[in-house]
Amino acid sequence: MLDNSAIQAAKNWTFEPAKNGGFPIASTVNIPVQFDLVQ
């Protein structure tokens, strides 16, 4: 249930690579996603 919601939200994000001296470099990032369930 929440997996599909997270995937759909991430599809709308835009990303720009980390750069060093103007050149893209490998990097990692953690992005917390909060869900609020409404009954």
pLDDT at 37: 81
Contact 20, 27 (CB under 8 A): no
- The pLDDT of residue 18 is 96
How confident is the model over 1-36, as pLDDT tens digits? 678 888 888 899 998 999 999 999 999 999 888 888
Give the residue among 39, 29, 33 at the shortest CA–CA distance from 9.
Answer: 33
CA distance 35 to 7: 13
Q: Under 8 Å CB-to-CB from 25, ≥6 apart: which residues?
A: 17, 18, 19
Which pLDDT score is estimated for 10?
86
For residues 2 and 8, what is the distance between their CA atoms, to the nearest angstrom? 10
